Structure 1
């Protein structure tokens, strides 16, 4: 991609769902966006094509498995080589599936911890020199279950608790040049495939959500953009959950 005066944002896991909405919103606000995906390459390339129709040479895609540390290293090197110093890192990519204590495995532990937490940490580490030079920002996608663990999802809950602590610790380490904050979604999009919830489980979640409805991806995208441009906010996690976090 040729040099540009537009700020550059890397959004991990942004080919679809919430990540894609974050990418679209940042793009609409003038960012060059780097769409990262793991398996959803076709969706990622379609999103890039759509964004480039709106503004030529303003979006690119990149593929990597964030549960694989060598690929994380290659990804950060490729980002720097192709795009230079970025201005905003959005650690959105996440794996989510049940791991009941009596049935969970070390492989599941490695996959969930690595994809949710380790990759976000080491991407932030490797891209931080450029973020520092740009007085940039990092926004991590956390989860309401980082503080109140989800039954039968202990490894995921532990990983997201680590992501929240990463916000608080790295806000000190990256200050004063880089701000790092988090967005903690509540019921926005229901999980897919093996992580899918029963209708009864969905009803229970709605009963414990004061606004009595689900949010939508735009709510999260708006919050990410706000934190990316809030010059005196760092080390904070903003709950965008319809009040869900008020309940245990």
Structure 2
């Protein structure tokens, strides 16, 4: 039986890779993005334009799904934003936007997803994307660290609440991904080399590996309430420094 996967942040590089892998794994994709549907989008899959950082935006997505009699089996919430700034450099507007994009969107999407799955009799899975900065203090990441830390706590609490509904809720905690979203950090080869040196495996994280981890958690029937680190060892061990 065909499974359906709701993917938010669908215009990003991680979503592009996840959608490719999901299709290869026989998922039907329901994509959500603030951007218009691409010209080359597979018309067999649904594309919805919406801003899910608000309660109204998230509810509009699920209202449209209900109108089309669609109940997604799984949710991969990839929408979010990255803010490289310390306390002194972060305006209230930037702070609010960071929390709305990363934490509010997760709360509102998950609330609607859980409701529709419970009405369908339960079951299903949701996976979110967190960051290593939620677990380890990294300078100039205060707002995004607060948002992703809240996201991880949301995942744990919701997984506990809805285990009785057989709804599995997990997250992938990613290191710095080698993607266009990080272009302002990985702006030249020296910057890339300095970034690699922070990781025990001495390499940046690829969207392909993060997508693989997301699909694994979506299908792993006995895993819930987990934060799976895909971070090259950044959160657990230190690189070996030699002279």
TM-score (norm 2): 0.87
Q: What's 1:182 paired with?
A: 171
Q: Secondary structure of 2:221's match?
A: coil
Pick which of 188-197 and 213-222 moved more: 188-197
Q: 1:192 offset after TM fit, Å?
A: 3.5
Alpha-carbon distance in 2 for matches of 1:149, 1:191? 24
User: What is the Cα deviation at residue 70 of structure 1?
Assistant: 2.2
Show the counterpart of 1:231: 221
> Aligned to 1:142, what secondary structure does the other structure show?
strand
2:194 matches 1:204 = yes
Does the C-alpha gap of structure 1 residues 103 and 202 become closer, same or farther in structure 2, counting only changes over 3 Å?
same
The aligned residue for residue 27 of structure 1 is 23
Q: State whether residues 174 and 230 of structure 2, in contact with CA within 8 Å, keep that contact through their aligned partners in structure 1.
A: yes
CA gap of 1:26–1:192, structure 2 versus 1, over 3 A, is closer
Match of 1:7 in 2: 3
RMSD: 2.1
Could you say which residue in structure 2 is the equivalent of 1:16? 12
In structure 2, what is the Cα distance between the partners aligned to 1:184 and 1:17? 17
C-alpha distance 217-192 of structure 1, shift in aligned 2 (>3 A)? closer
Q: Distance in 1 between matches of 2:86 and 2:55?
A: 26
Give me the whole-angstrom Cα distance separating, in 2, the residues matched to 1:24 and 1:76: 23
Which runs of 5 or more residues in structure 1 are unaligned? none
Q: Aligned-pair distance for 1:20?
A: 1.3
1:141 aligned residue (115, 119, 129): 129
Question: In 1, Cα distance between the equivalents of 2:183 and 2:87?
Answer: 17
Inter-partner Cα distance in structure 1 for 2:100 and 2:172:
19
Structure 1 residues 193 and 234: alpha-carbon distance in aligned structure 2, compared to 1, 3 A threshold: closer
Contact 1:190 1:196 in 2 (8 A): no
Q: Distance in 1 between matches of 2:53 and 2:170?
A: 22
Query: Deviation at 1:201?
Result: 4.5
Alignment map for 1:46-125 (pairs within 5 Å): 46=40, 48-49=41-42, 52=43, 57=44, 59-125=45-111
1:139-179 residue CA offsets vs partner (Å, 9 max, x unmatched)? 01111111113322211111011111111111101113100
Structure 2: 5+ residue stretches without partners: 239-243
What secondary structure, in the 3-state scheme, does the structure 2 residue paired with 1:180 have? strand
Distance (Å, rounded) in 1 between the aligned partners of 2:23 and 2:183:
32
TM-score by length of 1: 0.86
Cα distance change on mapping 1:23 and 1:83 into 2, 3 Å:
farther
SS at 1:97 equivalent: coil
> What is the aligned partner in structure 2 of residue 131 from structure 1?
117
- In the alignment, what sits opposite 2:241? none
How far apart are the structure 2 equivalents of 1:182 and 1:25?
18
State the SS of the aligned residue for 1:182: strand
